[in-house]
A and B are shown apart, each in its own frame.
Chain A
Amino acid sequence: MFGYYLDLALRSLRRHMVLGVLMMLAIALGIGASVTMLAVLHNLSGNPLPGRSDVLFHPQVDPRPEDLPGAKDEPPDDLAYVDAVNLYRLGIAPRRAVMSGNWLPVRKDAPDSPLAMYTDRATTADFFAMFGVPFLYGSAWSAQDDAGHAQVVVLSRAMNQQLFGGGDSVGKTLVIATKTFRVAGVIDDWNPQPHFYDLNDGAFGKAEQMYLPFFTWLDLPQDYGYGPMDCWGNDPNAGAHDPKAKQCTWAQFWVQLDTPAQVADYRAALVQYSTQQHQLGRFQRAPNVRLRGLLDWLDHKHVIPVTVRMQTWIAFSVLLICLVNTVGLMVAKFLRKAGEIGVRRALGASRRDVFAQCLVEAGVVGVAGGLLGLPLAWLGLWMVRQQPVNFAASAHLDPSMLGVALALAVLSALGAGLWPAWRASRVAPALQVKSL
């Protein structure tokens, strides 16, 4: 029966080409717009590290004074230097990394080589293993390098290309902020989106160009700051140049905890640490700690830009209007063949048969609209990528979104066809046949 209905639907669409094309266009436009925004949303709310996100946690402690005006209950996102170092040395997590970033003047280790600024991430050895960073050449530096303030650097693939023309440059040297560094490794393209481990400069954007050992980086003679600092108290200038100031938070800290027991232990350790600091008089507040998992952290920070949410709403209102339009056109279309339906009914087709036949026709329109909508969505995503916003680069259509687009198209066409089909099935056969 389905095959016969399909044949009827195609015939009917061919007979009333204009109405059919208009319906398809309406559905295609609606699907194009909404799938574009769904794909953007899907990409933005994606998991930056699938497979590892379950074991990564973001500890926070609260070193703020008791009576800070306008302070919320939520502890600062980042850690003060003292806490960062103390938690780094705590060592009960299987892996942990302290980090921050800025940009530094870099040149090749040759006389008169040109200077350029490169962005960096200053961190500790576990960073690479903990976040699963893929290496092209060499490897991460070791914990001994961290402890010994070794002058080693891990380059991104792009920076290795720019400075050394690609290739295995492990062991080569370069000058960063007047100090000579040895290349320990080169990583492959790696840029998790959202940029979960440091959201201070926005959640979406480019990856760092090089990676330096955190404590070596702190020693560097440079005046490019230590990442965005959040300071409190009466001395607003205190943190401007002193990363070790007690009243400034700026360092990110991440730990890997593999089992629920480890998570519970780590949480208890954070509370214990806060209590201890409270007793020492450094923390004024009662222990106020957080230990969010990676995805909880992203959720808490509302990383999806407000404009994207708004654009998604707009896209779905476009779809709604397109569907109302389609319903109208379908009513017109089905009523136009009232005579035909009357004949079918008179020859013994039940209302159900007519209803099913009309729905099949609606479904065909949906499939066609969806197929036409896919290139439109692709075009829409291309337009999003041309937008000068930093999350734009991640806007792509993946296979699962293709399926979603087609399903959405067919479902909306069926939804739009439901009521027109029901009306068509109510056509009184006698009246139609009489007027033939």
Chain B
Amino acid sequence: MHFRHILSALGRHRIAVCLLVLEIAFSCAVVCNALFLIGTRLERMHRPTGVDEPHLVQVDVHSVTPGTAEALMAQTRTDLATLRALPGVTGVAIVNQTLFGDSIGFSGVSLSDDPKAPSIPVTQYMGSAQLAGVLGLKLAAGRWFRPDEFIGYEQLRNGATGVPVIITRAMAGHFFPGQSAVGKTIHAFGTNRVVGVVDRLVQPRDYGPAEYYGYAMLFPVEMPYPGGTYLVRVKDPAQRQAVIQGALRALKADGPLRLVSPKYATTLEAERGKYYRNDRAMAWLLAGVCLLLLVVTAVGIVGLTSFWVAQRRRQIGIRRAVGATRGDILRYFQAENFLLATFGIALGMLLAYGLNLLLMLHYELGRLPAYYFPVGAAVLWGLGQLAVLGPALRASRVPPVVATRSA
């Protein structure tokens, strides 16, 4: 196949060629960036939390009247024992905030007690003794809390200081780069000594810069039930609904007037689904737009190629009459489309890069990774070949006898 001939033939339709190239280029640019946006959403949805999600259910109990701190703590301990005794339950803890939950608590953390020292907000998990085991956290260095280190929330409110803390590996890397964090001191609730480092634990919801997502602290603080959520670890994920029902029944059966409702009991997996539903919707929307664009581009290719085929009927007939096979004609149009797509893709890459720069400027997006370019190119080449097939087949069926008729 001689591309030179194709080029000279295309030269006679410069404008239509330019339009087709332009259309392919625009599609390429938008599709590359849309695929990239879908990729970033998917990546976001699959970030690990460090928590053993499939085995966890959570139950919120709403108080109706606040009692004394002692009465609330006593009720909380009773509840914990009740839940632990349920069949299929391997562990229970109460925690001030849950993953993907609405509430999120922060403390400004710094390395000195000077109020002007630079600090960053770090989220804090306050949980009862079994929390680390229930969440399925993995210790990277140091130790877990000792039983005698746990205090009530009331004591912390009244200014208890010197509470030990366990931090995540990411947070340790921020405050103590290149050294072991165990035994060091941070300033969050007064002065807190780091006794352990866990592999990974994340913020309940995204807050602040992306790298802060993996910064979290654990405190050995027991929450009263109105300020916390019961986390229940089940033996078998298939039993989660049964455990929820059992927990609601057990909690309703005893204790003072309070609100125990299936509305506030759920699996962590369901919470995850709810938290990421915007991202999922956006990814589907972008996928729909990509599809729409590809369809429109294909329509354009079909339209213009059909026009060219109709216009060149006589020339095709002449070529057939002087010996070109049907395959030759078919391949001619396919090669022509390949050439056009290549020009379009080349221009499209530049546009894609420019569009990405624009998005980076306005929407805090990352740089478009290089591997999206060949993906976009392959998609448009494939689309072009698919779209041209119909008109090209029609062209190949032009009988040689056309050449003998006057136009």
Enumerate chain A interface residues (CB-CB to B < 8 A): 18-19, 22-23, 25-26, 29-30, 33, 67, 69, 105, 115-117, 177-178, 221-224, 233-234, 236-237, 240-241, 306-307, 310-311, 314-315, 317-318, 320-322, 324-325, 327-329, 331-333, 335-336, 387-389, 423, 435
Contacts and interface: CB of A to CB of B under 8 A. Distances in A.
Interface stretch (B48-56, B284-292, B319-327): B284-292
Interface stretch (B57-65, B169-177, B239-247, B372-380): B57-65
A26 B259 contact: no
Given A22-B303, A306-B363, A327-B19, A67 B296 contact: no
Interface in B301-354: 302-304, 306-307, 310-311
Given A236-B189, A328-B23, A332-B304, 13 more contacts: A22-B302, A117-B259, A222-B65, A224-B62, A237-B157, A237-B189, A318-B296, A328-B20, A329-B300, A329-B303, A335-B307, A388-B277, A388-B281
Nearest to A325: B300
Contacts of A310: 359, 363
Contact of A115 (B189, B259, B293): B259
A223 B62 CA distance: 9
B107 interface: yes
Contacts of A222: 65-66
B85 interface: no
A271 B65 CA distance: 41
B66 A26 contact: no
B64 to A, nearest CB: 5
B26 interface: yes
Nearest to B310: A336
20 contacts: A22-B302, A23-B303, A25-B299, A33-B289, A67-B115, A105-B64, A115-B64, A115-B261, A116-B261, A117-B62, A221-B65, A221-B66, A237-B157, A307-B278, A318-B289, A321-B26, A321-B293, A325-B300, A329-B303, A332-B16
Contact of B296 (A29, A177, A314, A327): A29
A227 to B, nearest CB: 12
Contacts, number: 133
A244 to B, nearest CB: 16
A163 B151 CA distance: 42
Given A105-B259, A177-B64, A325-B23, A314 B30 contact: yes
Contacts of B300: 26, 324-325, 328-329
B407 A435 contact: yes
Contacts of A241: 157
Contacts of A30: 296
A338 B192 CA distance: 85
A262 to B, nearest CB: 39
- For B22, B30, B299, the residue with the greatest tally of chain A CB atoms inside 10 Å of its CB is B299
A30 B27 CA distance: 13
Contacts of A315: 289
A236 B107 contact: yes
Interface in B12-36: 15-16, 19-20, 22-23, 26-27, 30, 34
A266 B396 CA distance: 82
Contacts of B19: 324, 327-328, 331
B307 A336 contact: yes
- For A105, A321, A336, A435, the residue with the greatest tally of chain B CB atoms inside 10 Å of its CB is A321
Contact of A223 (B20, B188, B227, B277): B227
Nearest to B273: A388
A343 to B, nearest CB: 16
B299 A324 contact: no
Contacts of B22: 324
A241 B72 CA distance: 16
Nearest to A436: B407
A237 B221 CA distance: 14
Contacts of A23: 303
Nearest to A103: B62
Contacts of B156: 237
Interface of B: 15-16, 19-20, 22-23, 26-27, 30, 34, 62-66, 106-108, 115-116, 118-119, 156-157, 188-189, 226-227, 257-259, 261, 277-278, 281-282, 285-286, 289, 292-293, 295-297, 299-300, 302-304, 306-307, 310-311, 359, 363, 407
Closest 4 CB pairs of A and B: A332-B307, A325-B300, A328-B19, A388-B277
- Per DSSP, chain B at the interface is helix
Contacts of B106: 236
Nearest to B120: A70
A234 B304 contact: no
- For A233, A307, A336, the residue with the greatest tally of chain B CB atoms inside 10 Å of its CB is A307
A325 to B, nearest CB: 4
A105 to B, nearest CB: 5
A243 B116 CA distance: 25
Contact of A320 (B26, B65, B286, B359): B26
Contacts of A234: 115
A240 B303 CA distance: 66
Nearest to B299: A22
- For A241, A328, A388, A423, the residue with the greatest tally of chain B CB atoms inside 10 Å of its CB is A328
A325 B363 contact: no
Given A314-B289, A388-B277, A435-B407, A177 B65 contact: yes
A308 to B, nearest CB: 11
A388 B277 CA distance: 7
Given A307-B282, A325-B300, A240 B30 contact: no
Contact of A388 (B23, B188, B278): B278
A232 B118 CA distance: 14
B289 A67 contact: no
Contact of A423 (B15, B66, B292, B296): B15
Nearest to B22: A324
Contacts of A25: 299
B63 to A, nearest CB: 6
A19 B261 CA distance: 61
A116 B282 CA distance: 33
Nearest to B306: A18
B27 A321 contact: yes
Contacts of B16: 328, 331-332
B401 to A, nearest CB: 20
Contact of B281 (A69, A233, A325, A389): A389
A16 B285 CA distance: 34
A242 B188 CA distance: 20
B116 to A, nearest CB: 6
Contacts of B302: 22
